[in-house]
């Protein structure tokens, strides 16, 4: 059994149903496939590092 995650753009919430409780049709949210050759890894790591410094900044 395959379970997909759907996203309601109106409510900005995730759900497992194709139609959200607000009545709006949801869109499937599929994560990107893993690739060992990641073009954006340096940007993602830089963002995480900055976020970490901000979180633990005294």
Q: Between vectors from CA 27 to CA 25 and to CA 29, what angle results, nearest 5°? A: 150
- When pLDDT is averaged across residues 34-55 and rounded to a whole number, the result is 84
Work out the average pLDDT over 13-24: 88
Three-class DSSP category at 16: coil
Band the pLDDT of 58: cuts 50, 70, 90: low
Lateral strand order in the sheet of 27-28: 13-15, 6-8, 27-28
Using CA atoms, how far residue 27 sits from 34, 35, 44, 47, in Å, is 21, 24, 25, 27
Q: Does position 41 have pLDDT exceeding 70, yes or no?
A: yes
pLDDT at 17 over 80: yes
Share of the chain above pLDDT 90, in %: 9
Per the prediction, the chain carries an average pLDDT of 84
């Amino acid at each position: 059994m395959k379970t997909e995650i759907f996203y309601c753009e109106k409510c900005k919430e995730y759900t497992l149903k194709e139609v959200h409780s607000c009545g709006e049709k949801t869109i499937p949210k599929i994560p990107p496939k893993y690739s060992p050759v990641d073009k954006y890894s340096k940007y993602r790591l830089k963002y995480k590092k900055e976020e970490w410094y901000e979180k633990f900044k005294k």
